[in-house]
Structure 1
């Protein structure tokens, strides 16, 4: 039975910032809640598929301080560091008490840091389209994106993102993506600059030390056609997170946004991993459960 949904919007204060939060409640009531964590260049709009597909779960979505609908509340504020982003996520977890976390793309960094602090009540997490470490392809892409931003070439920047990370997006999403990225404000551009620099300067030894403290069960999902966050790139993370596994599906970086078949597959994986799928599917090793 398809549940109805009630969406409420509000703000939440954390670490000196005001965070715009959207809650999705299901009717009849769902018993479990997922907090979704979007990537650095994305807003909660990137989880429209989840609002529609994951109707067995309540959802909590939020925009980072300098992005989307949080931006207007934090004019003039410094861009948050990854540690602050993690602290914000921990505050949100304490207040909204999700059972699960589900991140996409660069949102995985703050999510892993938050998990390392063992948020109370968070039983499992899914980390999608994430790379533990920066591949040569990603390093080159970041340098090229930085050059476009430095030169104020916003149209070229948006085209670059669509041609690389977004290469498998349908045309309608590429058009929307181009409009959004080409119209980034100065504060959003500054945030991306700082984010790119932090990404390139991550100390892998420190990262390993941090994630070794994670107790929540953690599943990494990567796209088989994603040149920038490959399945192999999370092997090291899996080696140091005690209760972890990984799965590869036949898609690119933007996963559910690329294709309805991929969206249905991702829905099934999430439901099964968070213990709402069939007993047969839930007990199947994830490498076998993947389609494609």
Structure 2
């Protein structure tokens, strides 16, 4: 299953590496929005869940993955910049649905608040309406490490906190990947962390109030950093909001074990294609792709 790759230019300012997993039988296209510093490899599990039903589009932010060689890195990218990039890619690929992970939820909510005409439904995973104390402690510990470009220590911090429920294989590749980032990537993540710690999170609730399409919020039962309870604070602000908790799963949901992958897949398809969800085949003999080396190359949030 090889994607069609392309570099998409945004307003003459950014050049974005994209991957399109085309399904000739699909009538809808879903775009996946990474967390901070993650690359397209992060969504390998999710592509396996969605590509049988949709065309699936992935992309790297200007500072990360296969986009970074095509862009200047003289200033950090703001969440508003990420939202603008997302809006342009929605039009370019004629996307009908969005799915975000963790920090990607910030840009997704900002983009959806502008009511892009093509988007029909969106899923926000591992994102909460406030920065709780465990998340604040984790982020504050990371600030000095990121500023010092202490990649190994950053990797160990991630694996011991939001990544604590990941399999050992994923933790090893997390550490290798995070230890080998470029200098601008550590500075970009430092910028993101500082932004999260100092921003008024009520702005996301205001965004939610402007969104008219159905939204699904998905959080892990064991995720103490972006909890299901904190995600449900959006309930009073979302016109068509639904909430799902994946049992026995932490922040990384479908990457953590086979049952979490199955339950996340069922939650996504049940929301995006409710009429067809009942026909999703059981796991049976299908191998959960934990040994996928490419899927294990990921970053924190």
Common fold: TM-score over 0.5: yes
- 1:194 partnered with 2:173: no
Q: More deviation in 80-89 or 67-76?
A: 67-76
Residue of structure 1 aligned with 2:89, choices 88, 92, 113: 92
Residue number among 103, 107, 124 corresponding to 1:106 in the alignment:
103
Q: Which residue number in structure 1 is paired with residue 163 of structure 2?
A: 166
Matched, 1:7 2:3: yes
Distance 1:277 1:158 in 2: 42
Partner of 1:227: 224
Contact 1:268 1:277 survives alignment (8 Å): no
SS at 2:23 equivalent: strand
CA shift, 1:171, in A, is 0.9
Offset of residue 280 of structure 1: 6.0
| Deviation (angstroms), 1:277 | 5.2
Note if contact 2:143-2:190 (Cα within 8 Å) is conserved in structure 1.
yes
Task: Work out the CA distance in 2 between the residues paired with 1:226 and 1:162.
Answer: 13
Per the alignment, do residues 143 and 173 of structure 1 end up closer, same or farther by CA in structure 2, a change over 3 Å counting? same
Matched residue, 1:53? 49
**Deviation by residue 1:64-113 (Cα, 9 ceiling, x = unmatched):** 11111111111334221111110110111111111110001110000011
Q: Which residue of 1 aligns with 2:258?
A: 260
- Structure 1 gaps, min length 5: 283-292
RMSD of aligned C-alpha atoms? 1.7
* Contact kept? 1:6, 1:26, Cα under 8 Å: no
Asked if structure 2 preserves the Cα contact closer than 8 Å seen for 1:6 and 1:25, the reply is: no
TM-score (norm 1): 0.90
3-state SS of 2:135 partner: helix
CA-CA distance at 1:210 after TM superposition: 2.5
- Residue 103 of structure 1 contacts residue 111 of structure 1 at CA under 8 Å; is this kept in 2? yes
* CA distances 1:125-164 after superposition (whole Å, capped 9, x unpaired): 0000111121111111001011222333221110110111
Task: Identify the residue that residue 271 of structure 2 maps to in structure 1.
Answer: 273
**CA–CA distance in 1 between the matches of 2:258 and 2:96?**
26
* Whole-Å separation in 2 of the counterparts to 1:77 and 1:227: 35
Contact 2:212 2:240 in 1 (8 A): yes
Q: Are 1:148 and 1:157, in contact at CA under 8 Å, matched by a contact in 2?
A: yes
**2-side partners of 1:130 and 1:208: how far apart?**
12
**C-alpha distance 45-279 of structure 1, shift in aligned 2 (>3 A):** closer
Structure 2 residue runs of 5 or longer lacking an equivalent are 281-301
Question: How many residues of Structure 1 are paired with residues of Structure 2 in the alignment?
Answer: 277
Q: What are the superposed Cα offsets for residues 38-82 of structure 1, whole Å, 9 maximum, x if unpaired?
A: 100311111101222221111000011111111111133422111
After superposition, what is the alpha-carbon deviation per residue over 1:156-202, rounded to whole angstroms, capped at 9, x for unaligned? 11011011111111111111111011111111011101111111122
The equivalent position to 1:35 in structure 2, one of 19, 31, 50, is 31
